[in-house]
Amino acid sequence: MTAEGWDHQYVELAGVRYHYVRAGQGPLVLLVHGWPGFWYEWHRVIPALAERFTAVAPDMRGFAYSDKPDLPPEEGYTDVVMAGDLAALLDALGQTKADVITHDFGAVWVQRFARSFPTRLRRLLLMDPPYPGIGRRWFAPAHLQEVWYQLFHQLPLAEELVGSSPTATAAYLRHFLSHWSGDAEWLTPQVLEEFVRAFSQPGALRAGFNCYRAAFATRGRGAFAAEPVQQPTLVLWGTQDPILPYEWSDNLGQH
């Protein structure tokens, strides 16, 4: 299904115009993407969820068809800011709380949301989440070959190189979308085209990279607080994830 066949809506949150897709009726479920992601990464599950829920998949600030504020990363793209946007989105939708499904960078933002706005989160589903129990293993020498891109994204020339042509953007995104997937068949030319179009929006590459710059600048202070997430939480973990090995789920019970 192409992106044109969905119910696209917009709302202004604290001066930032947010794009989201909405489907179904019932209790609200927010689908929060990671990087490189945007609402479309959920297009295969939204129809099933919409049979029982109101499924809302936003493009977080800086991504795809939402605004991309030209702010320093540590001011405009931190987990604090993203969590605040999620709370504001609930207000705009007229909802006091929601279930949330997320992964990757979205899991970082939502862990901050769970700790900062505990009464707004009903239930949480995390997939292969970065979380405090991983600790120093993230930057172990053997793991650095998998997270090289996070260091590359710190460089101002990163968006210039990746965005130098549609071919370059497609090659860069194709690498991650295929390398991180357990399903080699899902990344069709049509799906890749949707991702390239989204990340070819003016400022989208820079803003996406700014999330990594913000994380490095703040060292994730607060998102990974000591207290456990209190809301009912289900964690699903892929056994072949090259970035977040299944073995790293060993400390989930503490957090």
pLDDT at 219: 73
Residue among 128, 91, 84, 73 nearest 110 (CA): 84
pLDDT at 218: 84
Instruction: Report whether pLDDT(28) > 70.
Output: yes
Instruction: Report whether pLDDT(15) > 70.
Output: yes
Tally of residues, the chain: 255
pLDDT digits (tens, 9 = 90+) for 207-251: 999 999 999 998 755 555 668 899 999 999 999 899 999 999 999
pLDDT at 223: 52
Please state, for a pLDDT cut of 70, what percent of the chain lies above it: 95
Of the two residues 222 and 115, the one the predictor is more confident about is 115
pTM of the predicted protein model:
0.94
Please state, for a pLDDT cut of 90, what percent of the chain lies above it: 85
Mean residue pLDDT of the chain comes to 93
Instruction: Report the distance separating Cα 71 and Cα 76, nearest Å.
Output: 5
Instruction: Report whether pLDDT(25) > 80.
Output: yes
Helix axes 204-218, 189-199, angle to 10 degrees: 70
Q: Which one-letter DSSP state was computed for residue 158?
A: H
pLDDT at 1: 46
Q: In what order do the strands lie in the sheet with 54-59?
A: 8-13, 16-23, 54-59, 28-32, 98-103, 121-127, 233-236
Instruction: Report whether pLDDT(122) > 70.
Output: yes
Mean local confidence (pLDDT), 160-173 = 97
pLDDT digits (tens, 9 = 90+) for 62-105: 999 999 999 999 999 999 999 999 999 999 999 999 999 999 99
pLDDT at 183: 84
Instruction: Report whether pLDDT(151) > 90.
Output: yes
Contacts of 209 by beta carbon, 8 Å cutoff, 6+ apart:
153, 158, 159
- Residues 75, 101 contacting (CB under 8 angstroms): no
pLDDT at 188: 94
